[in-house]
Structure formats: structure tokens, C-alpha cells
Amino acid sequence: MKTIQTDVLVCGGGCAGIAAALSSARNGVKTLLIERAGFSGGIITTVGLPYFDGLIDKPSGRFVVKGIPLELLQKLGVAKEGAKHIDDLRPDLITKYWGSVWIPNIEEFKLLSDELILKHSDHLTVLYHSMACDVEEKEGRITAVIIANKDGLTRVEARQVIDCTGDGDIAHWAGCPTIKSTPLMPLTMHFRIGNVVPVKETKDAAKKALIAAHKEGRLPNFYGPGLIFAFAKDECYVHATRVPADATDAADFTRAEIQGRKDAWTIFNEWKTKVPGFENSYYIMSGPYIGVRDTRRIVGLNVLTLEDLQKTTPHDDAIATGCWFLDIHPPEVTLDKPFTGSGFQPKPYDISYRTLVPQKVSNLLVAGRCHSASSEASASSRVTATAMALGEAAGTAAALATKSKTEVGILNGVNVREALTQKNAGPFTDA
Ligand SMILES: Cc1cc2nc3c(=O)[nH]c(=O)nc-3n(C[C@H](O)[C@H](O)[C@H](O)COP(=O)(O)OP(=O)(O)OC[C@H]3O[C@@H](n4cnc5c(N)ncnc54)[C@H](O)[C@@H]3O)c2cc1C
């Protein structure tokens, strides 16, 4: 089998992975990013979701995440230079009610990621259409990650590995303890409908059409109405499908993808035939992948808990700040709001470096939605801007460990925090 050697291997080029790869390379170590899709961006580009949630502390409007996520927003023309507050963002791309900001075009995000990766080609290489599919582990170290792509199988030998697969694939295959929530949050196929002329009755009628389709057995599950006009006034971006499944089970994941696609078309057809404003509409596209909210999370050296969010537990080794509300999507129908439970809104809270450090393997970090957090806490820490901040911290840590000839599992998170602070990244928990 062919072998590639690198200092740092980042598996998964999603929200966490793109930030991890850039920060590792910018810190001067040889970095390889592998991604199963033909582009980076994860949820943003593989599912089509434009939101950068977790950036803004809703009550105060101030940013609790800066670094690479903010740089991306600046490069996409969403945030001003030196932006610190929701008022420094493009006003047509924010919702103050949610403390939310979105990018105007997800295709542009693919292009920007490519440009940034290529700009750092002295230290950073990307392999798209490449899937991590196994690991070799010896005496508590990952000695190689096996990747599959058009070259066949390749062994990648890396000094440090960062698992940004969202599903904790690498950690799981390496034998690190992981957990799953019960029940898992459902999957959602996002899709877009063009040439919609919304009128006063549109939202209500759309909701009623979904309720009827569900009652009459055409739509097994949904959240409704789930329609948003984020990209253009006549283009409807739909969040309404809801498919309970375990995306770490290949057969169940396939079933969910097929069901999500079918449900998206059912919703489109119901609206086109029954809802004012949709008469001349057309189905633009879905996905290209169904969106996965919730699968494995590592049980790391520290576990972020609901109590940590309620008490805003301080950590010397904080490497990021979370602030999103408890956004728990149930695997059943909900109307008007997508989440259930209190929707508790935490004050900005510290996230410890040790939530990225799995048990049992010393040269692995896990960043993004599969970092170490309880079900409730992860409903807040899983969002995109927070995931990017975790990725940036992991990339910085992997570079520090490589340069100091140690391993990420041994590194002191306080040093990672200091390195992030020097780059105007890391935790911004205190105002
Ligand atoms: C339907 C849906 C709606 C959401 N809505 C919002 C929202 O409105 N706002 C918000 O902020 N957050 C939202 N989230 C949550 C948020 O998007 C994710 O939690 C966030 O993307 C986590 O980032 P990540 O990097 O961990 O995972 P991802 O962004 O999903 O990235 C994981 C990447 O790893 C790749 N990958 C997976 N396995 C492998 C492998 N074995 N080998 C190689 N590559 C692999 C994937 O292709 C993907 O690119 C939503 C999530 C879903 C599913």
C-alpha cells in the first residue's frame, strides 16, 4: 500500500476541519487535509446551510468567536474589518432575534476555502474525494490512517491526527470511548425552491399543507413550516424534512438519504399545488448530502456539561467560547419552532482544551460537533462558528505539539490558549 507522511493529518474538511487545517499550516507544519466530498465546508457546502451560529452572544450582540471564522466572514463581505459586534455585520444578513448571521452564497464558500488552502500550499495539501476508512494503532498512538480514494487505499503516517469527521470516526476506530445521545437528533435534507412569490398567507398555508400531508400519510415526519428566504426574495430555503436515523450505520444512513430526498419532493409538490406563492415555483436543488446533527461524541479528558453552561465554569485551558442556546431537535414533528425543551440561553462559556482530547490515544484530537460534551451541552457547542473555533484550536495545538516534539494528548492546553490569543483567536468568554 502507498504511504504518505505528514506532520498533521486533518480528517474531514467541514467547519472544524477547514479551520484546523488552516491553523496548523499557518503555524508552519506540514499538513494534509482529507475530505470525502469534492470541496470543503462541511454542513455549509455539503448540506447547504449558510449560518455562522455561535459567533454572537445574543443578549449583548458581542462576538465570542474571532480568529478564522471571523476572517471567513470578512473575506465573504459579511463582517467589517475589526468587527466585534452584531452591528458590524451586513444588516441584511443577520437576525437579531436569534443572534444569527449567514453568508449570502454557499458556492462562494467552496471557492474561498479552495483559495485559502492553495494560498498555504507551502505547508498545506488537500485531497478531496478521499475518505478516512481505518486506523492502525499501536501502544496508544495512531501510527497510520488508511484513506480510500481513486488511488485505492493509502496509509497516511502523521505525527498528530485531528478527527473533524463530525462522527468521531477516527477516534472510534482507534478504540477511544465515545457516546451517542438517546434519542439521536434527526437528520434533515435541506433544499431550495425558486420563483416563489410570497404573500401574506404563504407561511400559514405552507404549515397547513405539511400537517395535512403528514396526517394523510404522505409525509412521515417534518418540522414546519421551515421555510426561510435567506438567499433571495423569491427563493425559498427549506428546513422542513426530519428523518430519524443513525448516520454511523451505513445502511441506516443510506435509508435516511433516500427518505430525506423523497420527503423534500413531497413537500415541494404539496406547496406547489396548494400554497399561494408557489404556483410557478421550481425545485432548484437539495443537499448534496442530507445533514447529520448528532452521532458519536468522544468521552474526553474533560466533558462539557449542562452544569458548565449554567455556571459558566471557568477553565485555565479554555480554547474557545460557546454561547448558542440549547438547540435540541427532536425526532418527531414540531410546529413553528424546530427545537424542544427550555431552549436555555447560556451566558458565554469556556470550552476546555481537554474536551478535544480523547482517552487512550495520545496523538489524536477531536474537534467539531463530536468533541467531548454531554447531549445537552453539545446541543449548544455543536453549531458552526463554535465548531470552527474548536477546529482552529486543534490545528494550533497539533502544530505546537509537532514543533515541540510532543503529542497533542500531553500538551498543556494553557499553552494552546496563549498561542491562540496571540492571533486574536481562542476564548472571548469575558466581555
Ligand atoms: C440539518 C442541520 C441544520 C443545522 N442548522 C444549523 C444552524 O442553523 N446553525 C448552525 O450554526 N449550526 C447548524 N447545524 C449544526 C452544525 O452545522 C454542525 O454541528 C457543524 O457543521 C459541526 O461542524 P463539524 O466540522 O463538526 O461537522 P461538518 O461541518 O459536518 O464537517 C464534517 C466533514 O467531515 C467529512 N467527513 C465525514 N466523515 C469523513 C471521513 N470518514 N473521511 C473524510 N471526510 C469525512 C464530511 O464530508 C464533512 O465535510 C445544523 C446541522 C444540521 C445537520
pLDDT in tens, the chain (431 residues): 999 999 999 999 999 999 999 999 999 999 999 999 999 999 999 999 999 999 999 999 999 999 999 999 999 999 999 999 999 999 999 999 999 999 999 999 999 999 999 999 999 999 999 999 999 999 999 999 999 999 999 999 999 999 999 999 999 999 999 999 999 999 999 999 999 999 999 999 999 999 999 999 999 999 999 999 999 999 999 999 999 999 999 999 999 999 999 999 999 999 999 999 999 999 999 989 999 999 999 999 999 999 999 999 999 999 999 999 999 999 999 999 999 998 999 999 999 999 999 999 999 999 999 999 999 999 999 999 999 999 999 999 999 999 999 999 999 999 999 999 999 999 999 98
Helix, strand, coil % (nearest 5) of the chain? 30, 25, 45
Report whether 356 contacts 15 (CB < 8 A). Answer: no
Distance from residue 166's CA to the centre of ligand 1 (Å): 6
Report whether 174 contacts 361 (CB < 8 A). Answer: yes
Ligand 1, residues at Cβ distance < 6 Å: 11-17, 34-37, 42-43, 46-47, 49, 51, 53-54, 131-132, 164-167, 169, 188, 291-293, 368-369, 382-384, 387
Distance from residue 404's CA to the centre of ligand 1 (Å): 31
Distance from residue 44's CA to the centre of ligand 1 (Å): 8
Report whether 315 contacts 352 (CB < 8 A). Answer: yes
* Of 11, 35, 49, best ligand 1 pocket probe by most atoms within 8 Å of the beta carbon: 49
Q: What is the pLDDT of residue 431?
A: 81
Residue nearest (by alpha carbon) to ligand 1 atom 10: 383
DSSP state of 373: B
Report whether 324 contacts 53 (CB < 8 A). Answer: yes
* Of 384, 386, 390, best ligand 1 pocket probe by most atoms within 8 Å of the beta carbon: 384
Angstrom distance (rounded) from CA 360 to CA 14:
25
Q: What is the pLDDT of residue 38?
A: 98
Report whether 172 contacts 296 (CB < 8 A). Answer: yes
Distance from residue 20's CA to the centre of ligand 1 (Å): 14
Report whether 78 contacts 106 (CB < 8 A). Answer: no
Distance from residue 289's CA to the centre of ligand 1 (Å): 10
Looking from the CA of residue 130, the nearest atom of ligand 1 is: 43
Angstrom distance (rounded) from CA 340 to CA 102:
23
Cβ-in-10-Å burial (0-12, 13-18, 19+) of 176 comes to buried
* Of 23, 36, 43, 117, best ligand 1 pocket probe by most atoms within 8 Å of the beta carbon: 43
Angstrom distance (rounded) from CA 371 to CA 295:
11
Phi-psi map region of 54: left, alpha, beta (phi>0 left; psi -120 to 50 alpha)? left
Report whether 358 contacts 401 (CB < 8 A). Answer: no
Residue nearest (by alpha carbon) to ligand 1 atom 22: 369
| Measured CA distances, 40 to 166, 183, 184, 389, 402 (Å) | 13, 29, 25, 16, 24
Angstrom distance (rounded) from CA 240 to CA 265:
11
Report whether 393 contacts 416 (CB < 8 A). Answer: yes
**Nearest in space to 352 (alpha carbons), one of 301, 396, 404:** 301
3-state SS assignment for residue 49: coil
At a CB cut-off of 8 Å and minimum separation 6, what does 194 contact? Answer: 234, 235, 236, 281, 282, 284
